[in-house]
Amino acid sequence: MSQTLDRALQVLEFVGERPRRIGDIAARLDVHHSTALRFLHTLRKHGFVQELPDHSYRLGPTMFRLGYQALEGIELRSVARPAMERLRELTGETVHLGSLEDGSVLYVEKVEANHPVRMHSRIGAVARLHCTGVAKGIVAFLPQADRDELLDGYELSRMTDHTIVDRAALEDELALSRERGYALDAEENEPGIHCISAPVFSGEGRVVGAFSVTAPISRVDRQTLLSFAPALVEATRDTSRQLGWQ
Amino acid sequence: MSQTLDRALQVLEFVGERPRRIGDIAARLDVHHSTALRFLHTLRKHGFVQELPDHSYRLGPTMFRLGYQALEGIELRSVARPAMERLRELTGETVHLGSLEDGSVLYVEKVEANHPVRMHSRIGAVARLHCTGVAKGIVAFLPQADRDELLDGYELSRMTDHTIVDRAALEDELALSRERGYALDAEENEPGIHCISAPVFSGEGRVVGAFSVTAPISRVDRQTLLSFAPALVEATRDTSRQLGWQ
DNA sequence: CGCTCAAAGTGCGTAACGTGCAACGTGCCT
DNA sequence: AGGCACGTTGCACGTTACGCACTTTGAGCG
């Protein structure tokens, strides 16, 4: 493995959190500031970082150009989009697509509610495995071994009063989801927000993602949310079929 | 500058175009395949690339996570969003936000038309300077020196029958845009699609971006498009004011 | 105005580490 | 079976990345 590259990638992740100054970066990597400077110059030359007037650095234009190219490369995303839109029309609510990538569940697509309730985009973000709709919709349908691998060592941190923080309770909940064919997030990640989600399968029969319908409790009560289940499951089945499933 | 890092960043850009196999990458960099392999392993360890079943590599989850973080870091984007949404309500058409980053104009935000006409997302893409609404809306309002620097050596490639491929004609068109306060793309980039756009200024009075309203000719005729001008200019003025302009 | 401090940037000697090569194992395709 | 492409490992060489010391720049402040 390459030390230089390894360090430089750490720089990118560090700078990604928020703009950083040379000193911070050098300290973080535990290298001389001239070394950090050399990295930043190279990264800047390629547009991966950008220097701000105050000499701090933030991620640059190449970074989000490539970020979007990475997103375009996900086949699931383009296949799923039409079904997501139909689901939005039927429910009127925001539809998310989560994808399992390297052991993390990421939000990779979103179709927004007609309603003017804004929530900031989650695309690109990591979905918490134990308390988000998309993640539960995926994790519930993994083979037990894969699920164990993912959850072992994963901290079930409390986000709201409803978050399931006990591993055994979570397993029960996931088993229940598996039987029903869909998963729920009942205000487990964010107070006042609940979701219903269902898995998408690839041609080889593996879970590769999930759709979720998200809504504020204030507008959509639990019963209404549950009533979305048939349309949701149909939408994910449709997408799975297009991926060659069954 | 760091040779190792320089090469690795080339790998990322190369892989970003489409999935690549080791052999291609090694050939492209003109290095031994074991060297390319070492890069890929390090990149993969950090999630910047991902290995596909056929041993080719594509961009990975970290890449689009950071891509979105880069986007979030653009102040203009969050400031502009509400005005973009109001503009969409008024016009009913797709509104784009272009931002000037390191001498390139990039699409950084989009609010979609109500109408169900899909066009694939342009976010993260580079806007051609001479024939896209957002870019013309920015370039027209740059100081002459900056405009020259950008356009000198920039190829005015023909995209449609209406594309302006003559530098002098483009300068005239931009001068006209400057007088009017808004720019047009009259099927210059894509047949059947036209746009109207206006610039956003920063607190220091520099152009930093532009809004554009895009629509298919089939639904919106030229006169209707022009009728969007007052609302468009008002939206960009509003955003400029929030950035401290005047 | 000129002091101070922090960070940017430069040049250089040292040795660490990245490089290419060779050899072997594997899976896929013809 | 044979050929091909890729993955993986070990090693010797020398390129190049590293840290240090020094200079320059610029912002803040009395």
Q: Please give the domain boundaries of chain B with CATH numbers for all domains.
A: 3-67 (1.10.10.10), 73-242 (3.30.450.40)
pLDDT in tens, chain A (246 residues): 788 898 899 999 999 988 898 888 888 888 888 888 889 989 998 999 988 888 889 999 999 899 988 888 888 998 999 999 999 999 999 999 999 988 899 999 988 887 765 566 778 889 999 999 999 999 999 999 899 989 998 999 999 999 999 999 999 999 999 999 999 999 999 999 999 999 999 888 889 999 999 999 999 999 999 999 999 999 999 999 998 887
Position A117 scores a pLDDT of: 56
Interhelix angle A61-72/A75-91, rounded to 10 degrees, is 80
Chain A interface includes B48 (CB < 8 A): yes
Q: How far is A14 from chain B (nearest CA, A)?
A: 10
Contact call for B9 and A70, based on CB within 8 A = no
Residue A218: CB less than 7 A from any atom in strand C: no
Q: For residue A64, give the chain B residue with the closest CA.
A: B67
Question: Which residues lie below 8 Å from residue B192, measured CB to CB, with a gap of 6+?
Answer: B216, B217, B218
Residues in chain B with pLDDT values less than 70: 116-120
Q: Which ipTM did the prediction report?
A: 0.86
**Six-digit token string for B11:** 């790998």
- For chain A, positions 189-218, list CB contacts with chain B under 8 A: none
Give the dihedral of Cα atoms B10, B14, B19, B21; nearest 10 deg: -70
- Say if residues B168 and B158 touch (Cβ distance below 8 Å): no
Angle between helices B229-242 and B75-91 (to 10 degrees): 160
- pLDDT at position B116 is 63
Residue A124 to residue B64, Cβ atoms within 8 A: yes
The closest of B177, B240, B238 to B204, measured between CA atoms, is B240
Distance B10 CA to C25 C1' (A): 30
Facing residue for A64 by CB, picked from B10, B47, B67: B67
Q: Could you give the 3-state DSSP secondary structure of residue B107?
A: strand
CB contacts < 8 Å between A and B, how many?
A: 156
Binary contact (B70, A71; C-beta < 8 A): no
Q: What pLDDT, on a 0 to 100 scale, did the predictor assign at position A116?
A: 62
Q: What are the structure tokens assigned to B41, written together? A: 């392993």
Q: Which residues 143-182 on chain A approach chain B with CB closer than 8 angstroms?
A: none
Mutating which of A25, A63, A97, A121 best tests the B interface, going by the most B Cβ atoms within 10 A? A63
Q: Widest CA span of chain B, in angstroms?
A: 61
* Cβ contacts of A62 on chain B, cutoff 8 Å: 13
Residue B226, chain A, CB below 8 Å: the answer is no
pLDDT of residue B204: 79
- B interface mutation test: which of A65, A71, A107, A112 has the most B CBs within 10 A? A65
Task: Please state whether beta strands A104-111 and A126-127 pair in parallel, antiparallel, or not at all (unpaired).
Answer: antiparallel
Considering only CA atoms, which of B124, B185, B9 is closest in space to residue A5? B9
Q: Does A13 touch chain B (CB under 8 A)?
A: yes
pLDDT, tens digit (0-9, with 9 covering 90-100), for B156-170: 999 999 999 999 999
The 10 Å CB-count burial string (b at 16+, else e) for B42-61 is bbbebbbbbeeeeebbbbbb
User: Are A198 and A136 contacting, i.e. CB atoms less than 8 angstroms apart?
Assistant: no
Q: How many residues does chain A have?
A: 246
Interchain pair B46, A123: CB under 8 A: no
For residue A228, count other CB atoms closer than 10 A to its CB. 23
A36-51 burial string, b = 16+ CB within 10 Å, else e?
bebbbebbbebbbbbb
Helix boundaries (H) for chain B = 3-17, 22-29, 33-45, 61-72, 75-91, 133-139, 144-151, 167-180, 222-227, 229-242
Chain A residue numbers touching B43 (CB-CB < 8 A): 5, 9
Residue pair A96/A212 in contact by the 8 Å Cβ criterion? yes
Nearest CA in chain B to A46: B9
On whether any CB of chain A is under 8 Å from the CB of B1, the answer is: yes
Q: In terms of CA atoms, which chain B residue is nearest residue A116?
A: B85
